[in-house]
Structure 1
Amino acid sequence: MHHRVTYRHETQTLAKQMMVPLGIVMRRTPGVTRWAAWAWRAVSVLPGAPQADWRELRRDGDAVDFHAATVLLDLHHTQTEAYL
C-alpha cells in the first residue's frame, strides 16, 4: 500500500512499510577457557544481503567470519522520515 506526499514541490510515492534484509556476520575465535572451545560475537551487518546459511566470508588465522543468517528489518514510514 502506498500514499502520496508532496515535498519541495515534488510528488513522490512512499511505501508505508519497508522491509530491509540485513545479513548478520558472526566471528568465531578460539575460546580462552577449557570449557569453551570457541568464542562467538556479532561483528557486522550486510544491508541488502541475500539469504545465507553459515557461509564463510573471511578467514584470518584462527578468526573466521560467517554470514550466519539474513533477517528482515521492518521499517515504518512514521519512524523513518529522516531516512527518505
Structure 2
Amino acid sequence: MSEAALPSELTIPVAILAERRPGVTIWQSHVWRALAVLEEAPPVPAWTRLREENGREVFFAGTAEVKLHRTDTPNYKDNLEAAEPRIWVVLRDTPEGMSIQAVTVDPGEAEIYTEGPSDLIEALPLPPGLAVLLASFVATHHVEREFHKRKRDRQDIDSLGRKGRV
C-alpha cells in the first residue's frame, strides 16, 4: 500500500498467542499472559491449544484489530522512536473464560487499561510488518505541533476586590 493510499483511519488484523502456566501462589491455580502477536492467523479456531510442555500451555487466542487514527500519530511516533517499539495486548478474564479485550500500538491507550482490575496487559515486540505499516501511517498523517507556552495575564489589582492602599 503506498503512502498516498493510506486512509486517515486504518484497521489492521493481527493474531494473538497466549500462554497459561501454573500459578505460584495458593490463590491462583494458573496464570495467563499474552505471548506473541502474529501478522497472520494460523488456520485453527480461537483458543485452540497449540503446545503443552512442563505444565505450560500455548493457545492461539484468536484475532483482533489494531486501529490507527491520524489524531494519535504523536503517540505512534513516540512508540516507533523507542529503543524497542511495542504492541500492547489486553486479555480479560470473564465468566465465560479468557478473552482478547484490545490490541494497541498507542502507549497512552495501553496505559488506560492498566486501571482495570481484571485486565492483563502485556507489552510485546512490535512485529516487523506492522512496524513498517505504522511508520508509513505516521509519515503520511503526522503533523508536528509547535509547543506554545501559555503566558499568564497580569491581574488587575482592582479586579481582585481589594482597594489600593493609600
TM-score by length of 2: 0.37
What secondary structure, in the 3-state scheme, does the structure 2 residue paired with 1:32 have?
A: coil
What runs of 5+ residues in structure 2 fail to find an aligned partner? 74-132, 138-166
CA distance in 2, matches of 1:77, 1:24: 25
Residue matched to 1:83: 136
Compute the RMSD of aligned alpha carbons. 2.7
More off after superposition, 45-54 vs 19-28: 45-54
Number of residue pairs aligned between Structure 1 and Structure 2: 73
Task: Name the structure, 1 or 2, with higher relative contact order (CA <8 Å, separation 6+).
Answer: 1
Q: 1:81 to 1:33 in 2, by over 3 A?
A: closer
TM-score by length of 1: 0.65
Residue matched to 1:45: 37
Higher gyration radius (CA):
2
Opposite residue 30 of structure 2, the aligned amino acid is: W
**Regions of 4+ moved over 6 Å:** none
More strand by share: 1
Percentage of pairs with the same residue: 34
What runs of 5+ residues in structure 1 fail to find an aligned partner? 6-13
Residue matched to 1:55: 48
Alignment of 1:5-84 (within 5 A): 5=4, 14-16=5-7, 17-49=9-41, 52-76=45-69, 79=73, 82-83=135-136
Q: 1:52 to 1:45 in 2, by over 3 A?
A: farther
Opposite residue 52 of structure 2, the aligned amino acid is: R
